[in-house]
Amino acid sequence: MQQQHTLSDDYYRCLLELQTVDFVLVELTLYLDTHPGDEQAVRQFNENAKRRAQLAYQFESKFGPLMQFGHSFSGFPWNWPQTPWPWQV
């Protein structure tokens, strides 16, 4: 049985910020699918994609990988089995 880690307020704050940017990116993707010529929306998408990469890097540096199968790096020792995973909170 895996040990449950105590999560800090910082964990939840960082995860919420990441999820907020993910929501914006999904909405912009849907909009751009039907409005591909909207230059301002493309700019917003790219800015948010860059912000998401920064947030993901910060989150993973503090709390471990967000995704597996080569999408995220692991600390040493292998820290993927540490729970809870972001989708479990």
Supply 12's token pair: 């939840």
Nearest to 22 by CA among 61, 67, 63, 64: 67
- d(CA 26, CA 5) in angstroms, rounded, equals 30
For 38, the token pair is: 């909207």
Which tens digit of pLDDT belongs to each residue from 11-55? Answer: 999 999 999 999 999 999 999 989 989 999 999 999 999 999 999
Say which DSSP state 18 is in: H
Torsion sign across C-alpha atoms 62, 65, 70, 74: positive
pLDDT at 58 over 90: yes
* pLDDT for res 60: 87
